[in-house]
Amino acid sequence: MVDPGIRSIEVERLRGESERASERDDVAVEEPLEIRIAGETLAITMRTPGHDRELVLGFLVAEGVIASMADVLGVTHCGRVGAEARGNTIDVTLVAGVKPPIDPETGLFTRRGTLTTSACGVCGRRSIDDLIERIEPLASTGHRIARSIVAAAVRGLRSRQPIFGQTGGCHAASIVDFRGQVVATYEDVGRHNAVDKAVGSRVQAGELPCSDNLLVVSGRSSFEIVQKAFSAGIPVVASVSAPSSLAIDLAHRANITLAGFVRDEAMTVYTSPERIVS
Amino acid sequence: MVDPGIRSIEVERLRGESERASERDDVAVEEPLEIRIAGETLAITMRTPGHDRELVLGFLVAEGVIASMADVLGVTHCGRVGAEARGNTIDVTLVAGVKPPIDPETGLFTRRGTLTTSACGVCGRRSIDDLIERIEPLASTGHRIARSIVAAAVRGLRSRQPIFGQTGGCHAASIVDFRGQVVATYEDVGRHNAVDKAVGSRVQAGELPCSDNLLVVSGRSSFEIVQKAFSAGIPVVASVSAPSSLAIDLAHRANITLAGFVRDEAMTVYTSPERIVS
């Protein structure tokens, strides 16, 4: 079966000083996905097709719309596949009483309490400060993760990225438990989507909140990545790359352990380092 | 002077199997910027502070709101610095007759003809197909760029990234002319913002469209990166990393040369390879 996340195309390969050759190559697919609630557009995200259902469930958790499958009646692709829609529209029916985020003044959807006039899906600094301050930090359970398990989880991500392996251009996110068991790995051209898919798969499995789990991302840890981990109850975020200042601020407030530049046993821990032991 | 794009923080550094040490480290700053037109919010983007004016001008070109400085009366930070605003709101006054993108039905701002209910700022696949089809491709001027200059521009980007050098976590975009002269380089935690800043600096200099120029980006080339190059009239986009399928579709239609995996003289050219010679 052809992976919907990969497309084979004709390219021109240049090598050395003057060699040129026509060859075939694989690229990661990027397509928009329109997310609707009861027929109304909530968001459109550029994603790699495949696991749209997981993506939408994870996205709705991050947006605070749902907490579990108990809030969801159905998730279905709409439109005729192959015709205009190409499976790029997905509609969610919520259980009666679960409120989609509608702004009472405009009647439009909001995201995290802010009208979505946003390129990135988050609200202004003042709202972010408010959001950070209003956060109820994750509980300090006393549960610990070994440094060697963080190291292995980050190192192992690369071997769980078949689309990246074939295209060299795709992000990935893994959820790994504190004993080192990989519970979910998903790929996407968008870092955020890869995280949404991983979280969404845990929503489907009825495993939210993901306490005693580690989120591993292939790229940098931005504010939004930490926000998604927080919404899913994930207490540790690790990456081979760097976090941003705002990601650190949020992780600090949320009692999330944020580790960056994880290269084997060496790493930089920005917040709550006591959760990583030895 | 302290770079507003860098913050020094306390971290815990883990090395070897059990070494731990408290150290200071630098991280790239991520802060929201609210972009307003005549006081109304158009978009909020998570960006690295510094060169906000360039960011906004480049963003407005990509959104099709302005074509040059002749469309702009003023760009000013608003709010009291240090108080709530922290320089994170910027207001644009357009010349009379230049229309901000208002949806006639809702009275709200739109982006590229679509209401911004979007996580990524682009419209659905059908709209994207429409957008791609309606594009007037860049003119084939017959002007060429040497493979060695593309190689040097991509290789050289790394040496023009002081924030990345200090933090390990920041993207960058350069505009380089066909003779290899670097005309603009900007850094940002967001890939898109780095491109907007680079394009915006050319808007300020009265140098749009950027014909006979190359856009070099530090990350992957997504649809939106190619869209921004197209809006600025840049005929060549190159990166050390991979493009997405939709970036290739757009580059193909727009007559843009798209090169990826540029490593010294070796590269993969996805579209319009004839523009890169020898």
Residues A189-236: pLDDT tens digits?
999 999 999 999 999 999 999 999 999 999 999 999 999 999 999 999
Q: Among residues A278, A232, A230, which one has the least CA distance to residue A258? A: A230
Shortest Cα–Cα distance, B165 to chain A (Å): 12
CB distance A173 to A215 below 8 Å: yes
Helix (H) or strand (E) holding B28: strand B19-28
- What integer pLDDT is reported at residue B278 of this predicted model? 87
- What integer pLDDT is reported at residue A16 of this predicted model? 86
The mean predicted confidence, pLDDT, of chain A is 88
Output the DSSP codes for A62-112: HTTS-SSGGGEEEEEE-S-TTTTSTT-EEEEEEPTTPPP-B-TTT--BEET
Residue of A nearest to B166 (CA): A242
Which residues of A fall within a CB distance of 8 Å from B46?
A: 120, 122, 222-224, 246
- What integer pLDDT is reported at residue A103 of this predicted model? 63
Angle at the Cα of B226 from the Cα atoms of A187 and B129, rounded to 5 degrees: 80
- What integer pLDDT is reported at residue B109 of this predicted model? 62
Helix (H) or strand (E) holding A149: helix A147-157
- What integer pLDDT is reported at residue B118 of this predicted model? 33
Domain ranges of chain B: 145-277
CB distance A217 to A239 below 8 Å: yes
Size of the A and B interface in Cβ pairs below 8 Å:
233
- What integer pLDDT is reported at residue B80 of this predicted model? 54
- What integer pLDDT is reported at residue B105 of this predicted model? 62
- Amino acid letter at A222? S
List, for chain B, all residue ranges whose pLDDT scores fall below the cut of 50. Answer: 82-85, 112-123
Q: Among residues B8, B15, B46, which one has the least CA distance to residue A259? A: B15
Which residues of B fall within a CB distance of 8 Å from A246?
A: 29-31, 46
Residues A32-46 have a mean pLDDT of 85
Q: Does the distance separating the beta carbons of B276 and A16 come in below 8 Å?
A: no
CATH 3.40.140.10 at B145-277, yes or no:
yes
Comparison of pLDDT for B64 and A81, the residue scoring more: B64
- Pick from A28, A59, A119: which is nearest to B244 by CB? A28
- Pick from B13, B16, B28: which is nearest to A242 by CB? B28
Q: Does the distance separating the beta carbons of B261 and A147 come in below 8 Å?
A: no
Q: Please compute Rg for chain B using Cα positions.
A: 20
Query: A71 CB contacts (<8 Å, ≥6 apart)?
Result: A65, A94, A95, A98
Q: Does the distance separating the beta carbons of A269 and B14 come in below 8 Å?
A: yes
Question: Where would I find the beta strands (DSSP E) of chain A?
Answer: 6-15, 19-28, 31-37, 40-47, 72-77, 89-94, 110-111, 114-115, 145-146, 171-177, 182-188, 213-217, 236-239, 257-263, 266-271, 276-277
pLDDT band at A111 (very low <50, low <70, confident <90, very high): low
Q: B191 vs A80, B142, B170, B198, B228, CA distance in Å?
A: 34, 30, 8, 11, 11
Max CA separation in chain B (angstroms): 66
Residue of B nearest to A20 (CA): B278
- What integer pLDDT is reported at residue A43 of this predicted model? 80
* % residues pLDDT > 70 (chain A): 87
Q: B205 vs A124, B185, B210, CA distance in Å?
A: 29, 14, 11
- As given in the structure block, the two tokens for residue B181 are 């002269």
Q: Does the distance separating the beta carbons of B106 and A245 come in below 8 Å?
A: no
Q: What positions of A carry a catalytic annotation?
A: 120
Residue B267: strand pairing partners: A14
- What integer pLDDT is reported at residue B103 of this predicted model? 63
CB distance B57 to B72 below 8 Å: yes
Q: Does the distance separating the beta carbons of B121 and A248 come in below 8 Å?
A: no
Which residues of B fall within a CB distance of 8 Å from A89?
A: 124
A69-78, A104-113, B166-175, range with the lowest pLDDT: A104-113
- What integer pLDDT is reported at residue A80 of this predicted model? 54
Q: Does the distance separating the beta carbons of A128 and B169 come in below 8 Å?
A: no
From the CB of residue B120, how many other CB atoms can be counted at a distance below 10 Å? 22
CB distance A227 to A199 below 8 Å: no
Q: Among residues B258, B262, B215, which one has the least CA distance to residue A11? A: B258
Comparison of pLDDT for B129 and A70, the residue scoring more: A70
pTM greater than 0.95: no
- Pick from B84, B245, B248: which is nearest to A126 by CB? B84
Spatial separation of the C-alpha atoms in residues B144 and A52, rounded to whole Å? 42
**Phi, psi of A82, rounded to the nearest 5 degrees:** 90, -30
pLDDT band at A73 (very low <50, low <70, confident <90, very high): very high
A11-20, A66-75, A124-133, B160-169, range with the lowest pLDDT: A124-133
- Pick from A27, A248, A265: which is nearest to B244 by CB? A27
Spatial separation of the C-alpha atoms in residues A29 and A48, rounded to whole Å? 5
Q: Does the distance separating the beta carbons of A84 and B222 come in below 8 Å?
A: no
- What integer pLDDT is reported at residue B121 of this predicted model? 38
- Pick from B30, B114, B244: which is nearest to A30 by CB? B244
At residue B185, the 3 state secondary structure works out as strand
Q: For testing the chain A interface, which of B2, B24, B25, B27 should be mutated: the one with the most A CBs within 10 Å?
A: B27
CB distance A194 to A173 below 8 Å: yes
Q: Does the distance separating the beta carbons of A117 and B84 come in below 8 Å?
A: no
B120, B123, B170, B210: the catalytic one is: B120
